[in-house]
Amino acid sequence: MGDLLKRENLHRYQLFVVDYILNHPNAAIFLDCGLGKTVISLTAIDELMYDSFEIGKVLVICPLRVGEVWVSEVKKWEHLRHLRISRSVGTEKERLAALKADADIYVINRENIPWLVEKSGLQFDYDMLVVDELSSFKNWKAKRFKALMKVRPLAKRVVGLTGTPTGSGGYMSLFAEMMVIDLGRRLGRFIGQYKSCYFRPLATNGQIVYSYGLLPGAEDIINRKISDITISMSAVDNLDMPEKNVVEYPVRLDDRERKVYERMKNDLVIQTKEGEVTAANAAALSGKLCQLSSGAVYRDDGTVAEIHDRKLDALEDIIEAAVGRQVIVVYYFRHERDRIAARLKEMKADFDFIDSDESIRRWNRGEYQVCLLHPMSAGHGLNLQESGCNLMVFVSTPFSVEAYQQTVGRIYRQGQKSRKVTIMHIMAEDTIDSRIMKALERGSTTQAALIEAVRAQIGGDA
């Protein structure tokens, strides 16, 4: 037990957040990647359970892979080793057995909340709920949100954890998230009322509203309303974080490739000439243009048309220049993944996909040089910095602040051994790539921003 971390190893800000949870039965904890949300929550649970005896049974709701983080975190800390965690995964029989086991903390993935509430037949008798990743419950129409709200009043304590509370949905996302925390006491119980109080329609088509924007002053009002139960901290402010260097690696299409890109762009514009660019066709437009900038595009029959290898060539140069250092390669499209993998095989590079707990462990042990990662599976709680990797390359960049920040946060976080982290974006010049980067820099990746990016692109301004 000599190599275990001790409670004294907690940072001052972590102890501050622990006290905040202890003193706020309903708490929204907005902490950047790497600030230790899990150990903070476990320390608070331990004190509430074994010091003040306020709770006896805790349910943690989290993304599937994050459940393993909760289990492993208990093993790292001396003051938490006595906590008994039961992780509910696997078949229905296995999940039921885990939830019936004698434990202090029960961990279940978010997709199984409707099953737990509506089909398991188990009594919902948890004193405390921890929702680790609160942004997973930003959609008030989703089954998981509706199921959770059926039993939410039964829990006397609720903690919501996230690093990206507004994410790609902007402040509209906060309605459902805060409903989970306080049952609508601060932002209201009805989405229609919330919209009318704080938002105005932006992109519309008749009576259909595709996106909303905040009314003047609404952001400050919302922030004030939730401030008494919300704590927010940035990693840069609270940790000795490494230097982050964001680099754009430009590639240029030749005349033939440029003609294909322009022809696709113009053909897609012709399809929408009868009306405004809406969220639906903006997504289709941007998706096709992003694929083309990457080098290939799906045909209508699902086959792949390869246009150029510019980004693959650039990636090969970057990996060779790394001279054996580990490199995380982020892709977005399935054909992009396949083409990258084929190129890495040609290079005889030692690589694997990050798609399982075992692949993560092998990566952190330094067993291969290159890993391929999709932003949607790069999610919360995934630690890829333990091997010392400090170079991440985006072949395509996701149009989502939340997905982008969470992906970068896999190596730009506490525990990073290097003093500098490089985030590299391979960018096709004069394409939609630059528009996406500008939107990310502004923190604006709502539907309205997507529409504006496409409008600018088809208008000829990249």
Asked if 323 and 391 sit in the same domain, the reply is: yes
Identify the band that residue 450 occupies on the pLDDT scale cut at 50, 70 and 90.
Answer: low
In a domain? residue 169:
yes
Asked if 215 and 252 sit in the same domain, the reply is: no
Domain stops at, among 238, 273, 299:
238
Chain mean position to CA 123: 31
Asked if 219 and 255 sit in the same domain, the reply is: no
Asked if 232 and 268 sit in the same domain, the reply is: no
In a domain? residue 426:
yes
Q: What is the CATH number of the domain that holds 322?
A: 3.40.50.300
Which run of H or of E encompasses 86? Answer: strand 85-88
Mean pLDDT of 134-159: 94
- Note down the domain range covering 446: 243-458
In a domain? residue 18:
yes
pLDDT tens digits, one per residue of 275-325? 444 444 666 777 888 898 999 988 877 888 899 999 999 999 999 888 788
Asked if 234 and 280 sit in the same domain, the reply is: no
Helix and strand element counts for the chain (H, E): 18, 17
pTM of the predicted model as reported, rounded to 2 decimal places: 0.67
The conformation of residue 139, written as its DSSP 8-state character, comes to -
Which carries the bigger pLDDT value, residue 170 or residue 317?
317
Does residue 260 carry a pLDDT above 70? yes
| pLDDT value, residue 98 | 97
Q: What is the CATH number of the domain that holds 183?
A: 3.40.50.10810
Alpha-carbon distance of 458 to 461, in angstroms, equals 7
Asked if 270 and 309 sit in the same domain, the reply is: yes
Report the chain's C-alpha Rg in angstroms.
Answer: 23
- Which sign does the torsion angle of CA 107, 110, 114, 115 carry? negative
Half-sphere exposure of 96 (CA within 13 A, CB side): 9
3-state SS assignment for residue 418: coil
Asked if 223 and 254 sit in the same domain, the reply is: no
| pLDDT value, residue 454 | 56
Asked if 173 and 281 sit in the same domain, the reply is: no
Those residues whose C-beta lies under 8 Å from the C-beta of residue 206, and which sit 6 or more positions away, are: none
252 class by beta-carbon count within 10 Å (0-12 exposed, 13-18 middle, 19+ buried): exposed
Average pLDDT along the chain: 86
In a domain? residue 1:
no
Which carries the bigger pLDDT value, residue 253 or residue 414?
253
How far, CA to CA in Å, does 357 sit from each of 252, 297, 347, 353?
Answer: 38, 31, 26, 11
Alpha-carbon distance of 362 to 368, in angstroms, equals 8
Domain stops at, among 238, 272, 301:
238
| pLDDT value, residue 270 | 42
Q: Where are the alpha helices (H) located in 88-155, listed in sequence order? A: 92-100, 113-118, 143-151
Asked if 233 and 322 sit in the same domain, the reply is: no
Domain stops at, among 238, 266, 289:
238
pLDDT tens digits, one per residue of 91-122? 999 999 999 999 999 999 999 999 999 999 99
> Which residues lie across from 244 on neighbouring strands?
421
Alpha-carbon distance of 438 to 135, in angstroms, equals 23
Q: How many domains does the chain have?
A: 2
Q: Which of 401, 324, 331, 329 is nearest to 371 (CA)?
A: 329
The pLDDT > 90 percentage for the chain reads: 51
In a domain? residue 2:
no
Asked if 173 and 77 sit in the same domain, the reply is: yes
Alpha-carbon distance of 387 to 47, in angstroms, equals 33
Which run of H or of E encompasses 216? Answer: none
> Could you tell me whether strands 420-428 and 243-251 are parallel, antiparallel, or unpaired per DSSP bridges?
parallel
